[in-house]
């Protein structure tokens, strides 16, 4: 796969506060890359630099084969940004917003009109096309926002918290839209999000940012393997069984009131089979048994730290 | 070329805003109309005597000053609308697009000029209704429009620059406030000769006075003389400095 974004040694400080302290990134074309991190870790700053909004202090950035420092307009022509706070003009209608983009991109009258119609259709906004965006629901605004980004057929889209504040249904719609962008249009996606489930569902690769540095990078599965946290939880049917089993099954923690024990899962199915055999041999009744694999929450909480000072909100 | 087409696109955006919220123009026109009525009907008798004539003649004396009041009043509205716009996500979007960067601001300036001119037209109609009788020829009227356009252009760029100084909408709305004093501390309402020495010096050397004097002369069908040149130089200077600082502030 061709590399679409490559970043080496990216640094940025606001005064004495070092926001980004040497970031290296590589994003292959046509993939979803997700940058995760606690508030103030430097996610927004990274997006702002890569999308040409602010300048880096140091580092080399190549986007779509162009040096960002030398040819920002070439980079701008290849990217689209869908921001945290939907970047639409609330006073204009959905259609006018899209026309505005078409005009700014010099698509020409006929082509612009056709593109606007296609996008209204594709993002399910045809019925609301002539209503001012101020009357749109949160999900509709995000869809319009993304449709505006798509007018210029960008090859890299920055999605900065694309589903923040959306209800579960709208969130799922956005996820499907993002998948289609990658699969149908071959767009490369740079995603930041607070919802780890979202990164897990969408991202091919994830990087964890903590205090201005990348602390881990890999596929969601690779990251989950980096942290302990897989375990089996057994709830016993009666206090007697609980008492007899608690000391013998290798539990790391137990709860007398709930009659549960937690057993670290080191060997996957083998651990489970041994446990079940032991319970069977000793004729102990189990009310409930569940297996927990580490999720990105575990990864996030283990690998990242709260920043000591807040990132300036600009 | 790109700058012109992109500015035209941004102007269309502003015109749509104006079209959707036409009451803003009424807001721009209302303060000057109130001033006009106050100064004609409350102070007009005394003021008329002060300029050696009567209330009817004072309407003619006052109208150019009220036109300038309209321009500086609208500047405040422009600053608010630009500062508000700058807080919107769409500005970040524009900045990440390969467009002529300054076109966002040019669009605001041209849109605000359209609004200001509509407000001036309304104020002028009210003045005509209450007895303003200009004796300007067609050519004089063209001159009036030209001088108004020059000064509006300058003050609008100034208000855009002031709006960019702060990211805070409330502050941005206060910064152009002192401009409201310009017609008062000039020849807008009373002749400068009636002022004490220090104030009179200021009144005769500030930008609004030559503009008002030019308008007054043209509307009365008299030649504007050197005040026209002065007005043009002031307008060009304010416009240039404001344009450059607004552009620098926008790009920071």
pLDDT digits (tens, 9 = 90+) for A128-145: 999 999 999 988 999 999
Whether A272 shows a pLDDT value over 90: the answer reads no
Q: How far is A214 from chain B (nearest CA, A)?
A: 25
H or E stretch covering A261: strand A260-264
Question: What was the ipTM of the complex prediction?
Answer: 0.86
pLDDT at A308 over 60: no
- Mean pLDDT check: name the lowest of A39-43, A142-146, A295-299: A295-299
Tens digits of residue pLDDT in A171-224: 999 899 999 999 999 999 999 988 888 999 999 999 999 888 999 899 988 888
Contact B95 A84 (CB under 8 A): no
B62 band by pLDDT with thresholds 50, 70 and 90? very high
A269 pLDDT higher than 90: no
Indicate the pLDDT class of residue B11, thresholds 50, 70 and 90.
very high
Same domain for A152 and A187, yes or no, is yes
CA-derived radius of gyration, chain A:
24
The model's confidence at residue B141, banded by pLDDT at 50, 70 and 90, is very high
Going across the sheet that includes A58-63, the strands are A17-28, A3-14, A58-63, A66-67
Give A291's strand partners.
A232
A42: left (phi over 0), alpha (psi -120 to 50) or beta: left
Report pLDDT for A170.
87
Per-residue confidence at A41, pLDDT binned at 50, 70, 90? Answer: confident
A309 found inside a domain: no
Residue from A47, A78, A89, A146 to probe the interface with B (highest B Cβ count within 10 Å): A89
Contact indicator for B160, B109 with CB cutoff of 8 Å: yes
Query: If we measure between CA atoms, which residue out of A262, A239, A267, A265 comes closest to residue A251?
Result: A262
List, edge to edge, every strand of the sheet that includes A32-36.
A79-82, A156-160, A188-192, A32-36, A205-210, A213-218
pLDDT of residue A313: 43
pTM, two decimals, is 0.83
Judgement on whether residues A221 and A257 belong to the same structural domain of the protein: no
Does residue A103 sit in the same domain as residue A252?
A: no
> How confident is the model at residue A266, as a pLDDT?
67
Q: What pLDDT sits at residue A314? A: 40
**Residues from B in contact with A at Cβ < 8 Å:** 5-6, 9, 12-13, 16-17, 20-21, 88-90, 92-99
**Are both A283 and A199 inside the same structural domain?**
no
Q: Flag whether pLDDT at A310 surpasses 60.
A: no
Best CA proximity match to B7, nearest among B113, B116, B106, B148: B106
Q: A198 and A122 in one domain?
A: yes
| Domains of chain B: total | 1
Contacts of A92 in chain B (CB under 8 A): 13, 16-17
The tokens of A141 are what?
A: 């605004």
Do A60 and A98 lie in one domain? The reply is: yes
Are A219 and A241 members of one domain?
Answer: no
Nearest CA among B16, B4, B120 for reference residue B70:
B120
The first and second tokens of residue A165, run together, are 């504040």
Domain harbouring A177, CATH code: 3.40.50.300
Question: pLDDT, tens digit, for every residue of B20-30?
Answer: 888 888 888 99
Chain B residues with CB under 8 Å of A80 CB are 96
pLDDT at A312: 46
- pLDDT band of residue A306 (cuts 50, 70, 90) is low
Domain presence at residue A304: no
Whether A311 is in a domain gets the answer no
Residue A300 lies in a domain: no
Question: Between A51, A87, A92, which is nearest B16 by CB?
Answer: A92
Chain B residues with CB-CB distance to A87 below 8 A: 88-90, 92-93
Q: Which of A191, A225, A259 is the last residue of a domain?
A: A225
Residue by residue, DSSP assigns B173-231 as HHTTGGGGGTTTTTTSSS-GGGS-HHHHHHHHTSTHHHHHHHHHHHHTT---THHHHHH
Question: Which domain range does residue A190 map to?
Answer: 3-225
Q: What is the mean pLDDT of residues B170-179?
A: 89
Average pLDDT, chain A: 88
Residue A290 pLDDT greater than 80, yes or no? yes
């Amino acid at each position: 796969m061709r590399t679409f974004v490559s970043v080496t040694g990216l640094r940025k400080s606001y005064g004495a506060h070092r926001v980004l302290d040497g970031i290296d990134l590589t994003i292959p074309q046509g993939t979803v890359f997700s940058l995760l991190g606690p508030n103030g870790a430097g996610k927004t700053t990274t997006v702002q630099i890569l999308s040409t909004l602010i300048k880096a202090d140091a580092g080399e950035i190549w986007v779509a084969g162009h040096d960002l420092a030398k040819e920002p307009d070439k980079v701008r022509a290849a990217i689209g940004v869908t921001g945290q706070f939907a970047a639409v003009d609330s006073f204009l209608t959905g259609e006018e917003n899209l026309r505005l983009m078409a005009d700014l991109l010099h698509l020409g009258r006929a082509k612009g009109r056709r593109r606007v119609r296609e996008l209204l259709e594709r993002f399910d906004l045809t019925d609301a096309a002539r209503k001012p965006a101020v009357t749109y629901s949160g999900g509709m605004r995000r869809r319009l926002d993304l449709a505006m980004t798509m007018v210029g057929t960008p090859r890299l889209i920055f999605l900065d918290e694309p589903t923040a504040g959306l209800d579960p249904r709208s969130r799922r719609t956005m996820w499907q839209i993002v998948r289609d962008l990658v699969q149908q249009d071959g767009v490369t996606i740079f995603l930041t999000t607070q919802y780890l489930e979202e990164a897990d569902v969408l991202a091919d690769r994830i990087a964890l940012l903590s205090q201005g540095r990348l602390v881990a990078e890999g596929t969601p599965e690779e990251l989950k393997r980096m942290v302990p946290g897989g375990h089996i939880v057994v709830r016993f049917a009666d206090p007697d069984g609980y008492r007899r089993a608690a000391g013998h099954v290798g539990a790391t923690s137990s709860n007398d009131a709930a009659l549960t024990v937690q057993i670290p899962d080191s060997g996957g199915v083998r651990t489970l089979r041994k446990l079940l055999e032991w319970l069977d041999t000793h004729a102990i009744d189990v009310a409930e048994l569940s297996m927990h694999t580490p999720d990105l929450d575990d990864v996030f909480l283990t690998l990242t730290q709260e920043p000591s000072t807040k990132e300036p909100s600009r | 070329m790109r700058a012109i087409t992109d500015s035209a696109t941004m102007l269309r955006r502003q015109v749509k805003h104006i079209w959707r919220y036409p009451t803003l123009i009424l807001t721009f026109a209302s303060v000057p109309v109130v001033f006009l009525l106050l100064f004609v009907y409350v102070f007009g008798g005394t003021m008329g005597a002060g300029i050696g004539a009567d209330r009817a003649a004072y309407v003619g004396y006052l109208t150019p000053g009220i036109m300038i009041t309209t321009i500086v009043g609208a500047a405040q509205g422009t600053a608010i609308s630009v500062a508000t716009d700058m807080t919107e996500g769409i500005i970040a979007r524009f900045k990440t697009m390969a467009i002529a960067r300054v076109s966002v601001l040019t669009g605001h300036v041209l849109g605000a000029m359209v609004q200001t001119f509509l407000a001036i037209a309304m104020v002028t109609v009210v003045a005509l209704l209450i007895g303003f009788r200009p004796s300007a020829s067609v050519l004089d009227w063209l001159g009036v429009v030209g001088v108004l356009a020059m000064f509006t252009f300058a003050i609008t760029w100034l208000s855009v620059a002031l709006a960019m100084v702060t990211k805070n909408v409330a502050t941005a709305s206060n910064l152009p406030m002192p401009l409201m004093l310009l017609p008062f501390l000039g020849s807008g309402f009373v002749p400068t000769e009636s002022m004490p020495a220090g104030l009179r010096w200021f009144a005769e050397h500030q930008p609004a006075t030559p503009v008002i004097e030019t308008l007054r002369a043209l509307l009365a069908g008299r030649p504007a003389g050197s005040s026209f040149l002065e007005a043009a130089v002031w307008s060009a200077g304010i416009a240039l400095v404001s344009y450059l600082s607004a552009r620098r502030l926008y790009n920071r």
